[in-house]
Structures are given as C-alpha cells and as structure tokens.
Amino acid sequence: MMYCDAHQMRHLSMIHKSFEGRHFVGIIDPIGSCVYSMTNPFLDGIATLVVPDPGDYDRAGAQTDEMIVTIPAQVLQGFMDAFYKFHTRGPKFRSWALNMQPNFPRPAFYKAYFEKWGLDAS
C-alpha cells in the first residue's frame, strides 16, 4: 500500500499495466479506504487505486493530493520484476519534464483572439 501523487501513480500504473496487462481497479468512495485498499486486494489479488478516507489524513498523514495504490502480495513479485525491467528499458520516472519554450510560434486562432482582446498579436 502506497500513498502516491498523480505523477507517481501514472508511473506505477504504466509498470502495472506492462506486466499485468490491465489497469488498477479504481474505488472512489470517501469512506472505507481500509477495506478497499487492504482487505479486498489481499483477498482477490487485484491491484487497486483508492480515494483516502478521513482516517488516512488524520492518522496516516496522507496529503490532500495523494491516492492509495495497493499491489497485493499475490502479484508483488511480478510487479517488482516489471518495475526493475521498466527502469532499465522504459522511460525513467524523472524523465518527463515540462516542455516550455519562450516565444513559441502562436497558432492563427491565438493571434485572432489576441487581436480581438487588444493584445499584442505578433
């Protein structure tokens, strides 16, 4: 069980899908995360993505931008193998970066709107 932000969750989801061939099962229920994130995955062996409940914030210290990802014991070894394989062959966790280019060429519709708004359209 891991608390993950969106970037981490995306990365773990790509790894899980690369080895299991399926997505996390998502549970969007504001109460009962202990059942959905712990009990069910360990009984059925299915990895889950769960919304934290108030106890996760109050007692476990979950942050407001985090979700819970659970990889059950039944598939943990396969997930770890895929994790190491992904990191040697696939895109790296830190390799996604914002691609900001100053003064990029504006599309024609930008120029039209800028002119309507009285802004510099060049």
pTM equals 0.70
* Dihedrals phi, psi of 6, to nearest 5 degrees: -60, -40
pLDDT at position 85 is: 86
SS (H, E, C) 35-66: HHHHHHHHHHCCCEEECCCHHHHHCCCCCCCC
How do the domains of the chain map onto residue ranges?
Answer: 2-94
Interval 111-120: pLDDT, tens: 888 888 888 8
Tell me how crowded residue 25 is: count the other CB atoms within 10 A of its CB.
15
Strands 2-4, 25-27: pairing kind:
unpaired
Helix (H) or strand (E) holding 106: none
Interval 40-77: pLDDT, tens: 888 999 999 999 999 888 888 999 999 999 999 999 99
